[in-house]
Chains A and B, each alone.
Chain A
């Protein structure tokens, strides 16, 4: 019996091996690298030395680190947890009832932003928000004063850009989830006299709770690692006002050539992602009980 089970697992081996090499390998290497002074060039490039927790100690005293951590938190909370998640849910709910043509048009517009390659979306966001960009031309037509978004409110602009870019994912998740809510239950609630808000609160939301948790987990992880959008639109500026952790890690590793320190930042991001994932997974489990 046991032998047969082992034999049945054999075909999985290549896949597991590939996963370990290409997914597990880089993570382990990142952990290892973060304990060394590995450099892209310079004296430590050829023979990196084991320096223990030095990189992490430096990170804790680096004035940029708490700043970047805070900006990353703002970015994830603002654009993913609140922005994409709530807007996605709202759109899914509204589109359920909307006229079919309207729903199709809105859906296409939202999904278009998601379909665009990230680099293209980032250039569009830049063209929209920059000083002489589309937003200021539009507000200018309405007689409003010019606001230099990328200079005065870079994080706000990035949060809006990421909401625009990513909402489609949440919307489609919620559309699928809402389709699974049996119409009879909602109907009977209506007959019992429940209004729209009450139906949403007591029937719809509890029934799609696991979708909410899954969606939150996925978009949190996606947003935590957003690099291209921020790098193209603001490059972390002005004056580090939008240097989130991925930008900081890139700067250290590739602009200053300090691979060890860069990977230490990447490991911290990995841990933050892991903590969020565990929290959401536990949320999912509780739901099932």
Chain B
């Protein structure tokens, strides 16, 4: 109970702090915009500070008040949600995880932006896939994407080359992945040939969304999918690579810190053939980064993750990322949207995207040479955005995501068969969303 009590105290303090921050400015003086964002990220912070300066210069008499919130992603979401409960503390503009957006739309915290964006020329410059991040269940636009990421296979050319794999390696279906892994394993039993996490974003969803009927959620019917063969096949693939010792050990797979060992030791030391990682992987290896590795540009290479049998569109990727949203209770929605537009104009977006090594959400930014040259892989990982998918992040999704994670872990380390784990997932899903909201595939 001490932990819970601590959390309560922490929340109360945060609540008080937020009230204190905004209490003296909002309310009577309606010419103030309150902006909430996560403090941990210096690049985001400078974007907000720059935009504040530009906005105040362009709009006389208007004060922009920045309210950075400290903490990790979960803390930020909690504190943001709490501040949105009261009109006194609710921010006018906030940085929103695309993963949480639909839940906050359901809660009535987020302003629909369609009419405000209709006359914004720049909106056409935004990438169509990236726009999905800000789209609600009803198809309306609720947020402007700030950045995106994609997921591809990162492979070590030294390891694959030593095993006689032809480079550049271009897998076209799942069998190609297994063939490469088995070849590398035969050539050098000491390396981990092809690892995928016992997780969701970096592994299971890449597999699931590349199967014939693979999806978690049927957008047309607005129902969750149960009994899908693609779900079982995806689990089966994970089971194969773990059972055959092609991946890391099951114990390592369940360690939440294993990614550090993979990007920090295994790949740089030629002890791993390939893995699935985010487009932001160069951030780990760039100059001054935690796992600085000057040769990463020559040693590493990428390939899109193939679909199960090589069927259209040939490759698959998952995307996530932050967005900018406007509070439903904002007294100055017009001004708030203007702030969002200014923050995401060409110059600001370019500076932010390049500094943060993210995938550009604006096509005109993606075409600039600054962006293309920010790291050796910028072009390749951006192209994948075409085939990338966003998670169906409804209000229940955090819990469903955990149910999927449990299924993968049960198969990788819990000794369950893919059929059993899929059946357990179906049960858990029905419990979370209700029998009426599922559809048999």
Interface segment among A8-16, A42-50, A162-170: the answer is A42-50
Instruction: Among B82, B85, B398, B406, point to the contact of A256 (Cβ < 8 A).
Output: B398
Q: Are A40 and B1 CB-contacts (below 8 A) given A235-B256, A250-B7, A255-B74?
A: no
Residues of B in contact (CB 8 Å), total 37
Contacts of A258 in B (CB 8 A): 399
**Among listed B103-111, B237-245, B307-315, interface-contacting one:** B103-111
- Cα A41 to Cα B104 in complex, Å, equals 6
CA distance A200 to B98 in the complex (A): 64
Contact of B414 among A26, A222, A231, A239 (CB under 8 A): A239
* B-contact 0/1 string along A150-168, CB 8 Å cutoff: 1110000000000000000
Q: Is the CB of A41 within 8 A of B109?
A: yes
Contact residues, B87-112 vs A (CB, 8 A): 100, 103-104, 106-109
Pair A26/B8 contact, Cβ less than 8 Å: yes
Specify the chain B residue showing the minimal Cβ separation from A262. B4
Any B CB within 8 A of the CB of A52: no
Could you say which residues of chain A place their CB within 8 Å of the CB of B81? Answer: 40-41, 45, 257
> Which one of A42, A224, A231, A239 lies within 8 Å of B406 (CB-CB)?
A239
Knowing A226-B3, A255-B74, A255-B398, say if A238 contacts B106 (CB, 8 Å).
no
The reply to whether A266 and B1 form a contact with Cβ atoms under 8 Å apart is yes
Assess whether A107 is interfacial by the CB under 8 Å rule: no
CA distance A269 to B255 in the complex (A): 28
Number of A-B contacts (CB under 8 A): 105
Q: Given A239-B409, A239-B413, A257-B81, check contact A43 B1 (CB 8 Å).
A: no
Cross-chain contact B106 with A41 (CB below 8 angstroms): yes
Q: Which residue of A lies closest to B101 (CB)?
A: A41
Interface string of B1-44 (1 = CB under 8 A from A): 11111111000000000000000000000000000000000000
Q: Would you give the shortest CB distance from A132 to chain B, in whole angstroms? A: 9
Question: Which residues in B have their C-beta under 8 angstroms from that of A45?
Answer: 81, 85, 106-109
For chain A, the bracket of interface size reads 35 or more
Q: Are A231 and B3 in contact (CB under 8 A)?
A: yes
Could you say which residues of chain A place their CB within 8 Å of the CB of B396?
A: 42
Which 9 A-B pairs have CB atoms at the shortest separation, nearest pair first? Answer: A227-B3, A42-B395, A225-B1, A45-B107, A225-B2, A151-B251, A238-B254, A256-B399, A41-B103
Q: Apart from A26-B5, A41-B84, list 11 A-B contacts with CB within 8 A.
A: A26-B8, A45-B85, A131-B251, A151-B251, A222-B2, A224-B1, A227-B6, A228-B3, A239-B406, A246-B4, A249-B4
Please give the residue numbers on chain A whose beta carbons come within 8 Å of chain B beta carbons, in ascending order.
26, 39-43, 45-46, 130-131, 148, 150-152, 221-222, 224-228, 231, 235, 237-240, 246, 249-251, 254-258, 266, 269-270, 273
A-B contact pairs, 11 of them (CB 8 A): A45-B81, A46-B85, A46-B107, A225-B3, A227-B3, A238-B251, A239-B409, A239-B414, A250-B4, A257-B81, A257-B103
